[in-house]
Every structure is written in structure tokens, then in C-alpha cells.
Structure 1
Amino acid sequence: MRIAIYSNLNAASNRVATSLREKIEQSDTLTIDGLNPEIVISVGGDGTLLSAFHHYQDIIEKVRLVGIHTGHLGFYTDWRDYEVQELIDSLENDDGQSVVYPLLDIKVNYADHSPSDFGLALNESTLKQISGLMVADVFIKEQLFESFRGDGLCISTPSGSTAYNKSVGGAIINPTLSAIQMAEISSINNRVFRTLGSPLIISPDEWIKIIPNTNARTILTCDHQVISTKVISSVEYRISKRKVKFAQYRHTQFWKRVTNSFIGEVDSGD
């Protein structure tokens, strides 16, 4: 089996990555291959795993991701830094098991008619105005839904619903559901301007189109990376036909993962 190791640069992650590499090189069934891997092991935290996803997104259907966390408990990471040998044992006994998560397609059209950009997000995309109030029309499947005024909008995947989306009041969605979500960021609601003020969950046969009503520059992000600060004429979001796969050696059940990340140990009351 061909394996790539994608690590951040801190000392703890480097130690784990070095140990992984040594054990893989000693294995009869595992090899290091950073160009054409079957498994990508992320060593660090959720940010490192997102970076690994984008690094390999051109071949994302051909790989499975595994996360090792070297700090506090990560949402995407099933393994800890002291479990390297246990992970190696699982890799050597791999039978192709995986869990699949939906992704977000992003299509950007620019006001200067430059070529459209296309993006792919594992967590979310946000659209904000660089300064002042963002004013934009929001369409759902080509029908005008609302005229938005506020700081911005966040469109997330189910797995990304626990990230920035949650911090702006969005709902948490189980990633076994094929859906995307739009949450408002500090919308203005008064006698003159009115938005729904609640997160929207969009079905697989629908899409969201946002058309800014000003010529002001905006910040468009994909998984917290800025991908454009140009004047945008429209951004279209839909559920991608592509999927991301995680190797399911010891994949933590989603709601258990939510409990571990946000609530901690729960007293059963017994």
C-alpha cells in the first residue's frame, strides 16, 4: 500500500512523522509515496488535515485520509500521537474500509469578466465585504430568496457544520446526509431590512447563488484560506459530485465526535 505523510512543522508532529516513516520503511506491505498515494496520513490537527485535503484534492477520489492529532483532540483525527504502532498494524491489515463525506463546489464569476474560478471545500466557504456592510441577493435554485445585509454569509458542508458554521449559529448536520447549509453572519434585521435570520439546509437538487449588489471588493474564503479579494459578480454553491473518504480503521461515530469536541464527558446520572 502506498502512503503519503503530510505533517505540520512543529516538533511533536515531526517526531510522529519520523516514527511513521521509519515503521513504514520497515514494513513488507507498506511504502512511502507522496506523489501517487492510496492513503494520506495527516499529522497535526484539523488545520493540517484540511491542508492535506487541498494538497491532494486533484486525486481526492483515489485516496483515503487518516488523521493523527499531536495536540488537543481534533475533530477529524481518530488517532493520537502515541498510537503510531497501532495505526501501522491497521494499515498492514487494511481491506479498503472507508467512510465518505460530502464536499462543497464553489463557482466564482468576476465583475471584470475574467475567467471563472472553481473551488472545492471540505468545511466551508465564506463571503464577506472587505469594508462596510455587505449587501447581496441570495437565490435558491434560481429563485430570489432574500436580500441580505450584514457582515457576510457562510456556506458549509455537513462535516464542516461543526466548524465556523457553528460559531455563527448554524446547525450541526450529520455528514451521512448529502446537504449544504447557509448561515448568516451578523445580519441586519429591522423595520426596513429583513432576512430569515435562521440557517438554511439545502437539498442535493438545489443550489445557492449569491449576487453582491455593490462594486466593493469582497473576501471569499475556502476552508479559511482566502481565494479571492476581487470584485465578484456572483458565487454559486452546490453539493459536489466528488466525495472525500476517510479510512475507517477506528472511525469515531459522528455524534460521539461532537460530544467529545464540544461537551466532554457526560454524566449519565446513574
Structure 2
Amino acid sequence: MKIEIFANDAAKSVEVKRQLEKKLAERHFVFDSKNPDIVITVGGDGTLLAAFHHYESQLEKIRFVGVHTGHLGFYTDWRDDEIDDLVISLQSDNRQSVSYPLLDVSVKTRVAGEIKQHLALNESSLRRVGPTMTADVFIGGDAFERFRGDGLCIATPTGSTGYSKSLGGAVIHPDLPALQLTEIGSINNRVFRTLSSPLVISPNDWVTLVPVDPSSSEDFLLTVDSSYYHSNDIAQVSFKISKKKIHFAKYRHNGFWNRVKNSFIGDGK
């Protein structure tokens, strides 16, 4: 089994990575950063997101394991003081995994008509820098509404616990491979109307956002997880559940609702 350890630059993470490398080398594990079977991330959810995007072209053959060195992360099952237990689990690996849905993001440019593809683990959003964003919203190819406001966010089930939740969206279990569309600062008055409610979209449907007057000199801001893309050349953006999934090694992978409880509620004391 080939291992890659993907850590952030924090001193604690660097030290945990060093200890892991030493312990795994003593047990004759092979290290391979180009074609790993297991990617161990050391840091937090941001580190795991970075590793996910680094290896997104190899997701079908990689399983991820997260070790957190700070606050409890949503995707990280192991604490930094449990690496001996993690090494034992790696030694007895049975190749089991748990998988989560991902989001395909397809951007069509206005001038050249090119299609640019992105993949998100958590969410993607379209916003406008400066004036209010106006965009036509299509669901499954059918016109749904004309949105006016700061922007729109489309999240995966696991991403429903992040930015989407802060916008008033529901928390969705990843066994339901659905999209969630939430509004960012929508305008609702006698002239402008939106549904003003989060939408849970079937995996058989897709969401398309078509900016009104895209030729404006004002930039649009497209986010894909933690990446940002400024452009005034966006004709439309489409979102759908990807055929790809992210796979986590199932050593002691915490159940989804336990993750939600640990992240937002704690032990209630």
C-alpha cells in the first residue's frame, strides 16, 4: 500500500507528519506522492480540501484519512495524539471505504463559448463584485425564477454543513446525493420576487445560472470550495451531482450525524 502524507505548514502538523513518516517507514510502508493508495492529511478540513483538489484526477483509486492538529474538523477522524492507533489500522487495512457525493461545476464563457470544468467537495457559489447580481435560475432545463441579490450557493450534502448552513440551508445526509441551492442576500419586495427558501434538488436534475447583462464591466466572483475566480466573461454556470465521489478509508469513520453533533453541538455540557 502506497502512502502520501499531505500536511499544512503549521509547526504541529509538520511534527505529526514527521512522526507518522518515521512510524510508517519502520513498518516498511511505501511512500508515493504521485500515485498513492492512501492520502493522510494532517491539519484540518482546509488541508483535506487542498489534498482533494490536488488529487482530484485520481479519486477513483485514492482513499483519504484525516488527522486534525487543531480544532475538530468535519472530515478528520483522528487526533494528533492517536497516530499509533492510525498506524495499526493502516497495517490491518481491509480496503473498506465510505464515499461522499461531489459537485460538477461547468462554466461557459461569454466571448469564446468555452466550457471550463471544476469539481467541488463542499460548495460553489456565484456572486457579483459591486452591484446586485441578477441571474435567471433554471432547474433541470426549465426556467424557475429571476434572482436578484448578492449571489447563490450550491452545496453538496457534506457541504450543507458549511457555507450553505450559514445561509439558512438544511443539513443533508450524504446518503442522499442531492444538491442544495441557497440564496445569498436576495431582494424581495413588490417588484422583485424570489422563492426565498433553500431548494433541495434531485440528483437527476441540474441547476443553471445565467447572469443577466453579462457584458457588464463588473466582475462576477465564482467560488469552488476555497478557490476564487474573478471574471466578466461568464455566460452561464451549471451545477450537477458528479459521477465521481470522494472515498475515505473506513477504519473508524465517524457517522455523519455524529460528525454534525461533534461539530456544532458537542457533549451539551
Q: TM-score, normalised by structure 2?
A: 0.97
Contact preservation (8 Å) 2:219, 2:230: no
Residue equivalent to 2:204: 205
For 1:115 and 1:237, the matched residues in 2 are separated by: 16
Q: Which residue of 2 aligns with 1:142?
A: 141
Report how far residue 79 of structure 1 moved.
Answer: 0.2
1:40-80 Cα deviation digits (max 9, x unpaired): 00100100000000000000111001000000111100000
The amino acid that maps onto 2:246 is: V
- What secondary structure does 1:83 align onto? helix
Q: Distance in 1 between matches of 2:114 and 2:179?
A: 25
Residue of structure 1 equivalent to 2:90: 91
> How far is the alpha carbon of 1:228 from its aligned partner?
4.1
| Partner residue in 2 for 1:12 | 12
Q: Does 1:163 align with 2:159?
A: no
Query: Which stretches in structure 1 are left out of the alignment for 5+ residues?
Result: none
Asked whether the 8 Å contact 1:217–1:232 carries over to 2, the reply is no
Aligned residues: 266
1:247 corresponds in structure 2 to 249
Is residue 69 of structure 2 the alignment partner of residue 67 of structure 1? no
Partner amino acid for 1:248?
K
Give the 5 Å matches for 1:187-202.
187-202=186-201
Q: Partner amino acid for 1:236?
A: S
Query: Partner of 2:114 in structure 1?
Result: 115
Matched, 1:224 2:226: yes
Partner of 1:39: 38
Partner of 1:88: helix, strand, or coil?
Answer: helix
- 1:100 and 1:228 map into 2 onto residues whose CA distance is 31
Tell me which residue corresponds to 1:233: 235
Counterpart Cα distance in 2 of 1:131 and 1:113: 25
The CA distance in 2 between the partners of 1:193 and 1:155, in whole Å, is 21
Displacement of 1:114 in angstroms is: 5.0
- Larger deviation: 238-247 or 224-233? 224-233
CA contact (8 A) 1:107 1:237 kept: yes
Task: Give secondary structure in 2 for the equivalent of 1:82.
Answer: helix
Q: Alignment partner of 2:160: what SS?
A: helix
Is 2:130 the partner of 1:128? no
* 2:22 matched residue in structure 1: 22
CA contact (8 A) 1:170 1:183 kept: yes
Whole-angstrom CA distance in 2 between matches of 1:261 and 1:113: 44
Runs ≥4 residues deviating over 3 A: none
Task: Give the conservation status (yes or no) of the 8 Å contact 1:105–1:118.
Answer: yes
How far apart in 1 are the matches of 2:231 and 2:88?
46
Q: Deviations over 1:82-117 (max 9, x none)?
A: 111100000000001110100000000111125211
How far apart are the structure 1 equivalents of 2:229 and 2:61?
25
Deviations 1:180-237 (A, max 9, x none): 1110001001111110111111111100000000233200010021134232100000
Q: Secondary structure at the match of 1:131?
A: coil
- Whole-angstrom CA distance in 2 between matches of 1:57 and 1:188: 36
Do 1:151 and 1:186's aligned partners in 2 also have CA atoms closer than 8 Å? yes
Amino acid at match of 1:85: D
CA offset digits 1:114-142 (Å, max 9, x no partner): 52110000000010001110000000011
